[in-house]
Structure 1
Amino acid sequence: MTGAIVFDLDGTLIDSAPDIHAAANRMLADCGEAPLDLATIIGFVGNGIPHLVRLVRQARDIPDARQDEMTATMLAHYTAHPADLSTPYPGVRSCLADLKACGYRLGLCTNKFRAPSMQILDALELTGFFDVVIGGDSLPVKKPNPAPLQAAFDALGTERLLYVGDSEVDAETAQRARIPFALFTRGYRKTPVAELPKTFAFDAFDTLAAHLPALVAR
C-alpha cells in the first residue's frame, strides 16, 4: 500500500501533559505564583507554548507585559525536561512500525516548536518512523491554518491519505486542508466526539490500520 499519513503529537501519539504541566508550574514558581492543576493545563494544550503561556498568565492575572519573558522561561524549563514524564499511548510504536512496513510514508505536524518535538521523539524512540516533522515554528503560521499540514504532505510527496489528531484544532485543520481526519478519542479534546468533524474516530492504535484500506480504495 502507498499513501501519506500525518500525525499530531501531543494528545495523539504521546501523553505529554505531565511534562507540560511540570514546566508551566516551574515557570509560575519563578514568578512567585501558585501552581495550576493538571486538568487546567490540559485545557490549555493545543495551540503551542506561547498560547499556553498566555492562558496561564490570564489564570493568574499576570500582566501582558510579561508574555515574552514567561514564554522564554517556559521554553527553557520544557526543553530541559521534555520527556521525563511523557509516554507514547499504548500501541503507538507497533502501529507506526506496521504502517512503515506496509509502505506508508509518515509525517508529524504539531504546534509544539520543532526543537522540543525532536527532543521528545528522540527520547521516546519515535524519530525513525517519520519522514518529515513540521513544528509550530516551521512556518509563519500554525494549525488550524492548513499550511503546516499541507507542507507536511507536500514533503512526503505521495497521495494525501489521512491526518490523525485528537483535538478541535486538528479537526479544523484537516477540514480546512480537505484531508480525511481520524480522531483519536483519548487525547486532549474538550468537545464531544459526535460534535467534531471527522472521517472516523478510534480509541486504540491497534485499530487504526483497519480503517486504511477503505481510504486507499477511495
Structure 2
Amino acid sequence: MTEYDAVLFDNDGILIEPPAHDTQSEATRAAFREVGVETTDRQHIADIVDGVTVERLQEICVAHDLDPDVFWEARERHDERSQFKAFRAGTRDRYDDVAAITDLPQSRGVVSNNHHSTVTFVLDFFDLRPLFDTHYGREKTVDSLRRKKPDPQYLNRALADLDAESALYVGDSESDVIAARRAGIDSVFVRRPHCRDVDLTATPTYEADDLHEIVGIVDG
C-alpha cells in the first residue's frame, strides 16, 4: 500500500451531485438566445453540454455565424448562474459521505473541470473550505477547454501547491483516471449511482462505492 502525501478530489459527482443535463442544456439555449440564435440544433446543444472541444465549439459557432469568445462568455455565465440557482434552491446538494474525509491526515485539494469560481462557491456554500488546502477549476474562457481533464495541468498545479510527491486522485469519470495517470499519481474511480455501470477503458488504481472506502484505501 502506497503512503500518500496528498489526496485530491474531483468536485462534481464526488463532493457534490453532478449538474442535471437538462439544466445545462437550458443554460446553453439561453446563451444562444442572448447572442441572437433562437433555434438551435439539438446535436449542437448536446455537443456543448457533453464536453465540447475548442475545435467543435468553433465549428458550431461558424454554423451560426458567431464569435466563439462572445458566445462562450454567455454560455459560461448562464451555466454558472444555473448551478448557483440549483444550489440555493436545494435541488443540488453535497454528498453526505464527504464527512468521511474530514480526518484524513494528508493534505487535500479539489481539481475540477467546472469553473474555478463555481468550485470556490461550492466550497463556501457547503462549508467545505476548511477541508481543503487548495482548489482548481478552469477559467471561463474558450482556451480553458484545452486544459480540461484528461489534461493533467490543474492536477499538477495542486500537487505543486501541496508539495506532494505521492498522491491519490478521487474521481467519477474516465478522464479523471487518465488525468491522474498523466500526472504520475494513483486514482480511485468512485461508482456513484450516476456512473455505477460505466465501462472504463482506462484502469484506475482502485475502485470504490463511496468516500467511506477512500478512507480505507488511504489507511491501507
TM over 0.5: yes
Alpha-carbon contact 2:15-2:94 (below 8 Å) kept: yes
Corresponding position of 2:64:
63
Which one of 10, 24, 27 corresponds to residue 23 of structure 1? 27
Corresponding position of 2:122:
120
Which one of 159, 173, 184 corresponds to residue 190 of structure 2? 184
1:122 CA drift (Å): 1.6
1:32 CA drift (Å): 1.6
Is structure 2 residue 57 aligned with structure 1 residue 54?
A: yes
Alpha-carbon contact 1:111-1:143 (below 8 Å) kept: yes
For residues 163-202 of structure 1, what are the structure 2 equivalents within 5 Å? 163-186=169-192, 192-202=198-208
Structure 1, gaps ≥5 residues long: none
CA-based RMSD of the aligned residues comes to 3.7
Amino acid at match of 2:27: A
17 and 146 in structure 1: CA distance in 2 versus 1, 3 angstrom threshold: same
1:207 CA drift (Å): 2.1
Matched pairs, number? 204
44 and 198 in structure 1: CA distance in 2 versus 1, 3 angstrom threshold: same
For residues 1-218 of structure 1, what are the structure 2 equivalents within 5 Å? 3-18=5-20, 20-30=24-34, 31-33=37-39, 40=46, 44-45=50-51, 54=57, 58=60, 62-63=63-64, 65-85=66-86, 86-92=92-98, 94-97=99-102, 101-137=103-139, 141-186=147-192, 192-214=198-220
Question: Normalised by the size of structure 1, how large is the TM-score?
Answer: 0.75
Question: Normalised by the size of structure 2, how large is the TM-score?
Answer: 0.74
Distance (whole Å) between structure 2 residues aligned to residue 43 and residue 72 of structure 1: 15
Moved more, 160-169 or 15-24: 15-24
Distance (whole Å) between structure 2 residues aligned to residue 172 and residue 64 of structure 1: 35
Alpha-carbon contact 2:119-2:136 (below 8 Å) kept: no
1:210 CA drift (Å): 1.0
Amino acid at match of 1:141: R
Alpha-carbon contact 2:24-2:82 (below 8 Å) kept: no
